[in-house]
């Protein structure tokens, strides 16, 4: 199955686990956040470009689905792809997969806004970003 581009790979450590002996929700969010910044860089929104242009990204919405528990020692990959890009917002999906079993552990669908960091106001994506994201949408 095509889940998009690889944006994160890492291991679940014992300190990621809670009293139920599975990875705590805060670590799912952390791993998805790391994948988000790799995804943004993949579509041209690198940290350098954002800093130099006075632009940034901000989360507007996240919908997480937990499908299977992750445990200490599991190696996880996150794959990401855009679902939709509009003038000022992008909706994208992360899929977290257990490397050994191939099973989906969790997904998160997110909406983020492109903004002017000085004015603290949403602005339109540059054309090259919209085109790159549009080309990566999985139909």
90-131 per-position pLDDT tens digit: 999 999 999 999 999 999 999 999 999 999 999 999 999 999
Residue 1 confidence class, pLDDT cut points 50, 70, 90: confident
Span 5-136 CATH architecture: Roll (3.10)
Residue 56 confidence class, pLDDT cut points 50, 70, 90: very high
Name the nearest CA neighbour of 86 among 110, 61, 111, 107: 111
What's the whole-number mean pLDDT along residues 40-68? 97
* Residue 89 to residue 99: CA distance in whole angstroms: 31
**Total residue length of the chain:** 139
């Amino acid at each position: 199955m095509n889940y998009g581009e690889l944006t994160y790979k890492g291991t679940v450590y014992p300190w990621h686990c809670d009293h139920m002996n599975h990875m705590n929700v805060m670590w799912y969010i952390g791993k998805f956040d790391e994948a988000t910044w790799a995804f943004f860089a993949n579509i041209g929104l690198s940290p350098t470009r954002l800093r130099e242009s006075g632009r940034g990204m901000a989360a507007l919405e996240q919908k997480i689905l937990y499908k299977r528990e992750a445990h200490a020692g599991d190696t996880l990959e996150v794959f990401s792809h855009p679902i939709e890009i509009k003038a000022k917002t992008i909706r994208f999906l992360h899929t977290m997969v257990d490397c050994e079993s191939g099973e989906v552990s969790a997904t998160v669908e997110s909406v983020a806004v492109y903004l002017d960091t000085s004015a603290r106001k949403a602005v339109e994506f540059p054309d090259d970003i919209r085109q790159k994201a549009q080309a990566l949408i999985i139909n």
